[in-house]
Amino acid sequence: MTNNLPMITGIGYAIPTKVVTNNDLTTLYDTSDEWIYSRTGIKERHLFKNDAEAFELLEKAARQAINNAGIDVEDIDLIIAATSMPVQMMPTISCTAQRLLGIKRNIPAFDFSVACSGFVYGLDIANAYIRSGIYKNILILTFDNCSRYLDWTDRRTSILFGDGIGAAVVSAGEENDILAIDIKADGHVGDYITLPVPHGNCPFVETNDDKQILAMKGQDVYKFVANIIPNYITDTILAQNNIDSDTVDYLILHQANQRIIKAVQERLNYTDDKVISNIEYLGNTSASSILIAMGEAIKQGKVKTPSKAIICGFGAGMCWGGGVIRLREGVFRKENIF
Ligand code: COA
């Protein structure tokens, strides 16, 4: 028996209370609930009302995951945070979480940026560290404050995203919960989704007036994802790991577009009860969408535990990644919602 197998022992999530409906967006530009819903499956999204709420929810999601894992905050020996749209660049989100949780030890903590693939990349990092024996209890955080980086006069992008936070604890143990995991990138099509950083006022170099706003070539992104993701799940995630899709209970895809979720569902020939979707009332919460969908679905009884789920994230970079994970009993417990 080895003690270095990755067990997903706890998950947590937090959703802001401020709701913005499609009808609210009609006050900003020429659009309609029907246009947005029919193309994306989105009816509303939740936004952090301020930075204080974002940090409060970060701590809440992290504590949920840690409580579900049944460990103390001091047992965490690494914090990693997937964040491409943080509230601040420094201190990092992972270091902020260390402070908010009151962790006294000088454990390592770092952020990484892979947009909507954040949770899957985080799981891949955790998998490698746990199997190598370097760390025993890793806290993965996903934190994207999308609303902060959108142009709210742009009806092509600001309809899509919402804010939210996810958390998971991966611990070293005797059972393997990560049955398949893979991450990929293709930087050659990086211009499909961009978020430039303005070049301040250094008098010694060329500066620019770039706005720190997310821009997206919507149709290119849609085609890229629709071409790549269904095959990637069947060929790379399932076939290469000798996993029959019929032996997996749920599909928990990144919540980017209901039409993409449907396309993957059809490819896998899954019935509706096997497919988890909350995009209708949360929009695309970027790195957090898979963890939020997972936690919520367990809370609502749509996902039973123990079970297995296909997960897959994709987005800016372009980056993507997927896996098959075991959802053990107790990974998310209703009594730990606070
Ligand atoms: N309301 C009404 N009309 C809108 C609109 C809105 N919110 N957004 C765009 N339009 C209009 C455009 O102005 C355009 O009109 P025009 O031809 O007169 O200029 C027309 O609708 C088509 O625009 P287009 O951008 O081509 O729309 P689309 O059919 O591609 O749908 C998306 C836009 C964003 C819904 C779609 O491209 C998409 O879902 N892409 C994937 C996005 C995604 O998942 N991103 C995250 C990846 S992590």
Q: Per-residue pLDDT tens for 275-298? A: 999 999 999 999 999 999 999 999
Mean pLDDT (the chain) is 96
Cα 156 to ligand 1 centre (Å) = 5
CB-facing half-sphere around the CA of 301: CA atoms within 13 A? 0
**The two three-digit tokens of residue 72, written as one number:** 């103390």
3 confidence band (pLDDT: 50, 70, 90): confident
Between CA 171 and CA 307 the distance in angstroms is 18
Label the pairing between strands 78-85 and 137-144.
Answer: parallel
Contacts of residue 265, Cβ cutoff 8 Å, sequence gap at least 6: 251, 272, 274, 275
Q: Residue 245 phi/psi, 5° resolution?
A: -60, -25
266 confidence band (pLDDT: 50, 70, 90): very high
Residue type at 282 in one-letter notation? L
pLDDT at 255: 97
For ligand 1, pick from 156, 219, 222, 259 the residue to mutate: most ligand atoms within 8 Å of CB.
156
CA 28, 30, 34, 35 dihedral sign is negative
* 43: number of Cβ within 10 Å: 17
Is 60 exceeded by the pLDDT of residue 36?
yes
* 322: number of Cβ within 10 Å: 26
Closest CA to 194 of 218, 213, 222, 208: 213
Nearest CA owner, ligand 1 atom 8: 156
% of the chain surpassing 70 pLDDT:
98
CB-facing half-sphere around the CA of 133: CA atoms within 13 A? 2
- Ligand 1 contacts CB of residue 238 (under 6 A): no
Span 80-120, pLDDT tens digits: 999 999 999 999 999 999 999 999 999 999 999 999 999 99
Determine which helix (DSSP H) or strand (DSSP E) holds 85, and give its type and residue range.
strand 78-85
18 confidence band (pLDDT: 50, 70, 90): very high
Cα 181 to ligand 1 centre (Å) = 32
Can you spell out the DSSP letters for 162-190? Answer: --EEEEEEEEEESS--EEEEEEEE-GGGG
- If you average pLDDT over residues 120-125, what whole number do you get? 98
Nearest CA owner, ligand 1 atom 12: 156
Nearest ligand 1 atom to the CA of 260 is 44
333 confidence band (pLDDT: 50, 70, 90): confident
Determine which helix (DSSP H) or strand (DSSP E) holds 30, and give its type and residue range.
none
Span 152-199, pLDDT tens digits: 999 999 999 999 999 999 999 999 999 999 999 999 999 999 999 998
Between CA 301 and CA 271 the distance in angstroms is 16
336 confidence band (pLDDT: 50, 70, 90): low
CB 248 within 8 A of CB 303: no
77 confidence band (pLDDT: 50, 70, 90): very high
Determine which helix (DSSP H) or strand (DSSP E) holds 242, and give its type and residue range.
none
Nearest ligand 1 atom to the CA of 157 is 34
Nearest CA owner, ligand 1 atom 9: 156
Between CA 175 and CA 324 the distance in angstroms is 14
Helix, strand or coil for residue 71? coil
CB 8 within 8 A of CB 327: yes
**The two three-digit tokens of residue 311, written as one number:** 């997960």
